């Protein structure tokens, strides 16, 4: 997937804001990992940036391209990671303008994919 050129600091800021509102078990789990630079980099590159790309470009892609890119986004998610990314899909916070004009069925497809890839 060709990643959208979105500023990483904006994603990090949105994630940090979301961490403040996580439930305690998720918050503790994610905060411990987020403090580690290799984890942070891998999380942004493999999980958050592909999601941002799907949101940003998903408005203009045809169904075939969107579905192919969605299928390519197959990184497994721990429950806390899914809780961090869910508001980005739903239009919360700094990245809210990206969700504007994204068809509702594509938003639902992203949420379904996030749930499908969630680890126990």
Residue at 110 is within a domain: yes
* Digit-coded pLDDT (tens) for 47-60: 988 888 888 888 88
| Residue that the structure tokens 């390519």 belong to | 72
Residue at 1 is within a domain: no
- The rounded distance, in Å, linking the Cα atoms of 48 and 53 is 9
* Digit-coded pLDDT (tens) for 70-90: 888 888 899 999 999 888 887
- The rounded distance, in Å, linking the Cα atoms of 99 and 91 is 6
The yes-or-no verdict on residue 94 having pLDDT over 50 is: no
The pTM for the full model equals: 0.80
Residue 4 vs residue 62, higher pLDDT: 62
Number of structural domains (the chain) is 1
pLDDT of the residue at 101: 66
Mean pLDDT value of segment 91-102 = 58
Mean pLDDT value of segment 23-39 = 93
H or E element at residue 67: helix 63-72
pLDDT of the residue at 36: 94
**Structural domain for 43, as ranges:** 8-116
Q: What is the DSSP letter of 98?
A: H
Show the 3-state SS of 1-65: CCCCCCCHHHHHHHHHHHHCCCCHHHHHHHHHHHCCHHHHHHHHHHHHHHHHHHHHHHCCCCHHH
Residue at 25 is within a domain: yes
| Helices 24-34 and 79-90: angle between axes, nearest 10 degrees | 90
Residue at 107 is within a domain: yes
Residue 87: alpha-carbon gap to chain centroid: 8
């Amino acid at each position: 997937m060709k990643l959208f050129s979105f500023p990483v600091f904006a994603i990090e800021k949105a994630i940090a804001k979301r961490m403040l509102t996580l439930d305690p078990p998720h918050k503790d789990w994610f905060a411990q990992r987020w403090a580690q630079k290799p984890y942070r980099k891998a999380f942004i590159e493999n999980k958050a940036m592909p999601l941002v790309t799907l949101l940003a470009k998903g408005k203009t892609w045809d169904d075939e391209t969107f579905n192919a890119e969605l299928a390519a986004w197959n990184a497994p998610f721990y429950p806390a990671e899914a809780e961090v990314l869910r508001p980005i899909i739903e239009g919360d916070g700094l990245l809210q303008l990206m969700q504007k004009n994204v068809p509702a069925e594509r938003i639902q497809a992203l949420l379904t994919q996030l749930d499908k890839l969630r680890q126990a």
